[in-house]
Amino acid sequence: MADNTNSANQTQKKQFYKKKHREQMKHQVITFAMMIAFTMLAFGLVMAEVDAMFTVPIILVLAAVQVLFQLYYFMHMAEEGHEWPAAMIYSGVFAAVLTILALTIIVWW
């Protein structure tokens, strides 16, 4: 009897998770479509030879957004249990930004 309710519970739980996963998967497919769209936009801007002053910032922002999509949707960084991973990734980004700024700006001075 107890076993019965237990297994019934289990199937219910499984159903619930399955649904949750399907929901997630839908988001991920949408994310993917947007990433492809962003990529096409970036390549399109460059191929159309739009002014560099305009293109470069835009494609950098598009890249940053794509990366956030990867991190948050594909790698689930927003889910519970990801507080430390997120903290470490952002610390890495902090060190990375300083490194890149230094090497691009003050190396040739």
Partner 1 sequence: MAEDVLKSGNLPENPERATLEGRNKFMGFWFFLGGEVVLFASLFGTYLALRNSTVDGPTGQEIFGLGLVFLMTVILLTSSLTSVYAMYHMKNNDFKKMQLWLGITVLLGFAFLGLEIYEFVHYVNDYGFGFSTSAFSTAFYTLVGFHGAHVAFGLLWIISLMIRNRKRGLNLYNAPKFYIASLYWHFIDVVWVFIFTVVYLMGKVG
Partner 2 sequence: MSTTAENKAGFGSVLWDYLTTVDHKKIAILYLIGGLFFFILGGLQAMLIRIQLIAPDNEFISAQFYNEVLTMHGTTMIFLAAMPLIFALMNAVLPLQIGARDVAFPFINSLGFWLFFFGGIFLNVSWFAGGAPDVGWTAYAPLSLFSESHGVDYYAIGLQIAGFGTLMGGINFIVTVVNMRAPGMTYMRMPLFTWTSFIASVLILFAFPALTVGLFLLTFDRLFGGNFFDPEMGGNVIIWEHLFWIFGHPEVYILILPAFGVFSEIIPTFSKKRLFGYSSMVFATILIAFLGFMVWAHHMFTVGLGPIANSIFAVATMAIAVPTGIKIFNWLFTMWGGNIRLTSPMVIALGFVPTFTIGGMTGVMLASAAADFQYHDTYFVVAHFHYVIVGGTVLGIFAGIIYWWPKMFGTMLNEKLNHWFFWLFFIGFHLTFFFQHFLGLMGMPRRYWKFLPDQGLDLFNLISTIGAFGMAIGTIIFLVNVVMTQMKGEKVSGDPWDARTLEWAIPSPPPFYNFKQEPLVRGLDALWVEKMQGNGKIQPAEPLGDIHMPNRTFVPFVISLGLFIAGFGVMYQGAMWILAGIGFATTFGAMLYRSLKDDIGYHVHKEELEEEGDGSNG
| By the rule CB under 8 A, 102 interacts with partner 2 | yes
Say which entry of partner 1, partner 2, none residue 21 contacts (CB below 5 to 8 A, set by partner kind): partner 1
Containing 29, the helix (H) or strand (E) segment is helix 2-47
User: How many CB atoms are closer than 10 A to CB 73?
Assistant: 19
| By the rule CB under 8 A, 83 interacts with partner 1 | no
Among 24, 62, 84, 86, binds partner 2 (CB under 8 A): 84
Q: Find the shortest distance in angstroms from Cβ 36 to partner 1.
A: 6
For 56-109, the DSSP string reads HHHHHHHHHHHHHHIIIIIS-TTSTT-HHHHHHHHHHHHHHHHHHHHHHHTS--
Q: Which residues sit at the interface with partner 2, rule CB under 8 A?
A: 84, 88, 91-92, 94-95, 98-99, 102-103, 106-109
